[in-house]
Amino acid sequence: MTSEQKQVLLSIAFFAALADGVKDDQETERLRQLADSLDEDVKALDLPGIYRNVLLKRVTLASATSALDHPELRQLAYEMAVCVCDADGRQTPAERQFLQELQRLLGLDDEQARTLGSQAEAIVDIDTTPSAEPERHSSSPTTAGGPVVAITTKIPEEELDQQIVNSAIINGALELLPQSWASLAIIPLQIKLVYRIGQAYGVELDQGHIKEFIATIGVGLTSQYLEQFGRKLLGGVLGKVGGKLAGTVGQAATGMAFSFATTYALGQVARRYYAGGRQMDTTVLRQSFAELLAPAKEMQSRYLPQIQQAASGLDAGKVMALLRGK
């Protein structure tokens, strides 16, 4: 894959991220930060420039798609766009319209489009929280001020900590898979983790509350997927659907560390939040998350054998079973 083709795929990814037309300043800023954050090893791609060109309409979707002259690249572009649109939940009417236009420009028939989007849609359709009466109060951070009441978990602390580590291992392993939909499974697995942590402290949450909590600490849903996809693409890890495990761990090391660390830090922050009676405000939550990321990335090397072993046994069926909690 040439540098120009990678630029085109990333341009289409940014088009997909902006397709819903929602003027979310926080998500837009996160996308800008994403473009800036990956320039150390891939300066030739000029990610900030790619994002600006899309945002300022200096490049069109038609011109971007016309540069993809190989059927596999066109299929990858569509599959990736579906995943980006699905990253924050079911597609909006604007996103569906965007995907229809992208399908037309890429020259894909309806059957091809359905096949390429089926894995992503199957992941999004799974409710990762068991059916339960959601709590009446919002899970978004409360304002500190009242007395902090420590809450005891319903399961041993060691077991809860192991659940967080296990989730981080699985999400790190997903980065070693070549399929673009694999990274899409990371977000619902993070939602499931936060649900279980809240449940351990006696709080029943629904997906909307959990997504709000994750966004509050600074982890954007769409931008997180885009970052994972970008790292896979730029590291040469992406392959055909049904492809084999990445040839070398080194190719995916950065993305693997990112997903392991993000999941681990998210779990530990959720643990502190619910254990403390939800008295941490937004600033404290974000600061805690940021402080945990660096040591979590260092931890990843200790768990590398487990991550590799988990990745070697993962396929679409097993990922779906994990999402369903089986």
DSSP designation for 140? S
| Residue 147 and residue 81 share a domain | no
User: Which position has the higher pLDDT, 295 or 152?
Assistant: 295
% of the chain beyond a pLDDT of 90: 17
**SS3 for 11-50, per residue?**
HHHHHHHCCCCCCCHHHHHHHHHHHHHCCCCCHHHCHHHH
- CATH code: domain of residue 9: 1.10.3680
Q: Are 293 and 168 part of one and the same domain?
A: yes
> Confidence class of residue 24 from pLDDT cuts 50, 70 and 90?
low
Whether residue 216 sits in one domain with residue 119? no
Residue 249, pLDDT > 50, answer no
Q: Which of 228, 153, 231, 156 is nearest to 190 (CA)?
A: 228
Please say whether the beta carbons of 247 and 176 come within 8 A. no
Contact assessment for residue 209 and residue 140, using Cβ atoms and an 8 Å cutoff: yes
169 and 291 housed in the same domain: yes
The dihedrals phi and psi of 247, each to the nearest 5 degrees, come to: -60, -40
SS3 75: helix
Q: What is the pLDDT of residues 81-110, one digit of tens each?
A: 888 888 776 788 899 999 999 999 999 999
- Judged against a pLDDT cut of 50, whether residue 148 lies above it is answered with no
Give the pLDDT confidence score for residue 126 in this predicted structure: 72
Share of the chain above pLDDT 70, in %: 71
Query: Quick one: average pLDDT of 273-284?
Result: 85
> Strand ranges (DSSP E) for the chain?
none
Nearest residue to 101 via CA among 23, 24, 12, 179: 12
pLDDT of residue 137 exceeding 80, the answer is no
Mean confidence (pLDDT) of the chain: 77
Same domain, 218 and 157: yes
Please give the pLDDT value at position 247: 42
Residue that is written with structure tokens 């619902």 in the block = 188
Which tokens hold the place of 65? 């798609």
Give whichever of 14-28, 181-195, 250-264 has the largest mean pLDDT. 181-195
**Domain stop point among 124, 142, 161:** 124
Model confidence band, residue 245 (pLDDT cutoffs 50, 70, 90):
very low
Q: What is the Rg, in whole angstroms, of the alpha carbon atoms belonging to the chain?
A: 19
Please determine, for residue 134, whether its predicted confidence score (pLDDT) is greater than 90. no
Of 90, 124, 158, the one marking the end of a domain is: 124
Residues in the chain: 326
Q: Are residues 118 and 142 in the same domain?
A: no
Q: Would you give the end-to-end CA distance of the chain in angstroms?
A: 38
Do 117 and 259 share a domain, yes or no?
no
Please determine, for residue 61, whether its predicted confidence score (pLDDT) is greater than 60: yes
What is the pTM (predicted TM-score) of this model?
Answer: 0.73
Helices (H), 107-185: 110-125, 157-174, 180-184
pLDDT digits (tens, 9 = 90+) for 165-202: 999 999 888 888 777 677 778 888 888 999 999 989 88
What is the pLDDT at residue 144?
Answer: 42
Tell me which residue range forms the domain holding 207.
127-324
pLDDT at 244 over 70: no
Give the pLDDT confidence of 212-227 residue by residue, as tens digits.
888 788 776 676 667 6
